[in-house]
Structure 1
């Protein structure tokens, strides 16, 4: 049976992007493999240097949750994220953000808990 052990984000500058994601996820770089950084966690998050990141919307994105969504969004914006839009559907709310490299990700309320 397969399991997700790591999610990799393509970017131009992994070290710069690691500054955001290590603070956002309260983790640290556990491997630096010249243009490929791995952050601790489960699943792990990797930042891979590529010459030309894919333009446009990500085909895969992270969905994060924990704590009070509005407080987490404010914290992430202070770290360098940008709010794209907010959603509220039938008692479930989430915020779409972009990291400093332009990758979209979401922060949601726990299912069934709207703030």
Structure 2
């Protein structure tokens, strides 16, 4: 028996604007707002949902879980995300892979990587 990943939930003091921001960035759509307490975002069929849950006191410090995403044009996507309100945290690289750590408007860090080279795929 195994489990299936269905949804990734982020705690926030203001779920609606953060859910809207993420929905725009991933080309998704808001599925349910549940009176602003729990907002679900769909990224498409077969992909896990993103959810944003209202909490009065989010955990301080760096988030222990983060999203890793990929794109064919890393520089252009990072520029787009920063223009949309993300903050660049760091640029990173290892043989065959480059990625950038960013933070969303609520401070949650996430990474965006470029396409892996053929030798690393």
Q: TM-score range with shorter-chain normalisation? A: over 0.9
Q: CA RMSD in A?
A: 1.1
User: Which of the numbers 83, 96, 101 marks the counterpart of 1:91?
Assistant: 96
Look up the match of 1:82.
87
Alpha-carbon distance in 1 for matches of 2:72, 2:25: 13
| 1:36 paired residue among 32, 35, 38 | 38
Matched residue SS, 2:89: strand
Is 1:64 the counterpart of 2:93? The answer is no
Match of 1:51 in 2: 56
Structure with the higher fraction of residues in helix conformation:
2
Residue equivalent to 1:103: 108
Report the secondary structure of 1:100's partner residue.
coil
Structure 1, unaligned runs of 5 or more? none
**C-alpha contact 2:16 2:33 (8 A) present in aligned 1:** no
CA contact (8 A) 1:23 1:79 kept: no
Gaps of 5+ in 2: none
Q: TM-score, normalised by structure 2?
A: 0.89
Partner Cα separation in structure 1 for residue 10 and residue 72 of structure 2? 24
4+ residue runs over 3 A deviation: none
Query: Are residue 12 (structure 1) and residue 13 (structure 2) matched?
Result: yes
Structure number, greater radius of gyration: 2
